[in-house]
Amino acid sequence: MAQLKVTLTDDNGNELSYHEYLVGEEMTNLNRIERKVEQLRPQILSDMTHDLLAHEQAEYKKNALSEQRQLSDKNQDDKR
């Protein structure tokens, strides 16, 4: 059975997500493939949006924790 595989990467080529979608057995010409991809497009875009938001949220939390640690360290240094 034919599959469509979508890999989402960042600017540095690091893989953010990977999804496989079954497209059926009768993918013998470009027109059929295009129709199936159009049918899958909403699901693909939804999956990519979810993955991007999850990645950005994780990055934001990581950066926020780093900033909090820096401020805490600075406050500790100021008290000494």
Mind listing the pLDDT tens digit for each residue in 6-62? 999 989 999 999 999 988 877 788 888 889 899 999 999 999 999 999 999 998 888
pTM: 0.69
Q: Which two tokens stand for residue 54?
A: 């999850």
CA distance 7 to 22: 15
Q: Residue length, the chain? A: 80
Per-residue confidence (pLDDT) for residue 76, from 0 to 100: 72
What's the half-sphere exposure (Cβ side, CA atoms, 13 Å) at 30?
0
Total domains present in the chain: 1
Of residues 68 and 9, which shows the higher confidence score? 9
Per-residue confidence (pLDDT) for residue 40, from 0 to 100: 93
